[in-house]
Amino acid sequence: MGFYQRSIGPHLVRIACGTSLLAEQRRRIVPKAAGTVVELGVGAGANLPFYDRSRVSRLIAVNPKDGFCDPDRLTAAADGLSLDIVEESAEALSLDTGVADTVVVTYTLCSIPDVKAALLEAKRILKPGGRLLFCEHGRSTKPSTARLQERLTPLWQPLACGCRLDRDPVCLLTRAGFEIDCVEQGSLRGVPDVVGFHHVGIASPRTEPAGGPFSA
């Protein structure tokens, strides 16, 4: 891992993910979490202020071991929450099957290397009747913008800590065996769609996984 990927890139990503514009999007979905919650890719804890302390009984915060997690900062930001920090890959969780009432993913699916494995793990750890809450930027529904995202992703990805512009969260979830209960898709105010097209919604596991090939 080079100096940029180790020090500069993560710092820039933290700044970008901590903006007020993204906080508005987080506020739309994170307060819906309830019960035992597993957040994949908690990062620096940008979602923590938005959890409803009266609804969340336990929060399991998952970060990769090389995810520059600051446990003390997360613990301080999680005031009022029962917090467990788990440093491991979202693609291979040690958590028990059916442990979670809610899984939360925000600005995470764009950068997980094996997103198929991570979503299958999310499905595994959800209880029957559990829900996955998502807030992601990604592939535009406008074909011309989507084509531009595909062209720019090889340039963008190494600068943005693995983030891909061209992933479609709804498609990824559907192919991993989730039913989309509701979703809002659209532009982020003042941000070009190539980087700011958003998908915010709720998904629940289907009884049987969807068929067909899975593409990142």
216 in any annotated domain: no
For residue 42, the model assigns a pLDDT of 94
Q: Is residue 147 part of a domain?
A: yes
**pLDDT (0 to 100) of residue 184:** 98
Helix (H) or strand (E) holding 147: helix 143-159
Q: What is the CATH number of the domain that holds 107?
A: 3.40.50.150
Angle 60-173-90 from CA coordinates, rounded to 5°:
35
* Strand ranges, E, within 99-172: 100-106, 126-137
Contacts 24+ apart (CB under 8 A), 93-97: 93/62, 93/121, 93/124, 93/125, 95/38, 95/60, 95/125, 96/125, 97/124, 97/125
Say how many domains are in the chain. 1
Domain assignment present for 168: yes
Whether residue 215 is contained in a domain is answered as no
Selection from 80, 191, 185, 96 nearest residue 142 by Cα? 185
Q: Is residue 95 part of a domain?
A: yes
Asked if residues 162 and 111 have their Cβ atoms less than 8 Å apart, the reply is yes
Strands 178-186 and 198-205, by their bridges, are antiparallel
- Residue 106's domain spans which residues? 3-205
User: Does residue 212 form part of some domain?
Assistant: no
The pLDDT of residue 213: 45
Residue 213 falls inside a structural domain: no
213 secondary structure, DSSP code: -
Question: Average pLDDT by consecutive 10-residue portion of the chain (216 residues)?
Answer: 59 68 96 99 94 98 80 90 96 98 98 96 98 98 98 93 95 98 95 96 82 49
User: Looking at the domain assignment, is residue 81 inside a domain?
Assistant: yes
Task: Pick the closest to residue 43 from 60, 22, 63 (CA basis).
Answer: 63
Q: Give the model's pLDDT for residue 15.
A: 65
Q: State if pTM tops 0.85.
A: yes
- What pLDDT is stored for residue 20 in this prediction? 84
